[in-house]
């Protein structure tokens, strides 16, 4: 695998992750209830839930995944070059080791960076949703 293929693979991964669910569902009926329906005015809850979901979705998980993939690819390629140079030197081909190290490190870094950034953004969305609903007076079950 050369560096060009590693970059292409990293970009493909970022695009795939951007296609994943990147927003909190705007319809409260699409997910398990966060409140006790017996103690809640569900009409008001649905309206408030939609407004809070819109606020929570200001964090773009797809964009975060793309940014994480780019940063992770760079960091992974740098680490890969160093490790590849050491291994390549042991086999009398430092340049080849650096190329393979950069390519593999870039792909691994992109994968880890994208997954980590996406996960963090989704947690941020869920936290924002819950905090908004609590701020509007709802006692949340979960």
118 assigned to some structural domain: yes
11 assigned to some structural domain: no
The C-alpha atoms of residue 60 and residue 109 are separated, in whole angstroms, by 21
10 assigned to some structural domain: no
The C-alpha atoms of residue 31 and residue 21 are separated, in whole angstroms, by 13
At residue 27, does pLDDT exceed 60? Answer: yes
Owning domain of residue 82 = 62-134
28 assigned to some structural domain: no
The C-alpha atoms of residue 138 and residue 101 are separated, in whole angstroms, by 52
At residue 14, does pLDDT exceed 70? Answer: no
121 assigned to some structural domain: yes
Taking residue 102's Cβ as centre, other Cβ atoms within 10 Å add up to 25
Confidence of residue 131 (pLDDT cuts 50, 70, 90): very high
How many structural domains compose the chain? Answer: 1
Q: What SS3 state is found at 133?
A: helix
| Residues 49-107 pLDDT 10s | 999 999 988 887 777 788 888 888 888 888 888 998 888 888 888 888 888 888 888 88
CA diameter of the chain:
73
At residue 130, does pLDDT exceed 70? Answer: yes
Mean pLDDT over 35-44 rounds to 89
- pLDDT at residue 31 in the model: 72
């Amino acid at each position: 695998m050369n560096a060009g293929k590693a970059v292409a693979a990293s970009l493909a991964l970022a695009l795939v992750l951007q296609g994943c669910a990147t927003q909190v569902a705007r319809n409260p009926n699409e997910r398990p209830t966060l409140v006790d329906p017996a103690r809640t005015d569900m009409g008001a809850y649905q309206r408030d839930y939609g407004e809070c979901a819109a606020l929570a979705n200001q964090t773009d998980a797809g964009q975060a995944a793309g940014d994480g993939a780019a940063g992770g690819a760079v960091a992974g390629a740098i680490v890969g070059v160093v490790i590849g140079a050491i291994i390549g030197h042991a086999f009398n081909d430092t340049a080849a080791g650096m190329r393979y190290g950069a390519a593999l490190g870039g792909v691994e870094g992109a994968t880890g960076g994208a997954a980590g950034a996406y996960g963090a953004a989704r947690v941020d969305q869920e936290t924002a949703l819950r905090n908004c609903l609590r701020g509007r007076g709802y006692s949340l079950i979960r």
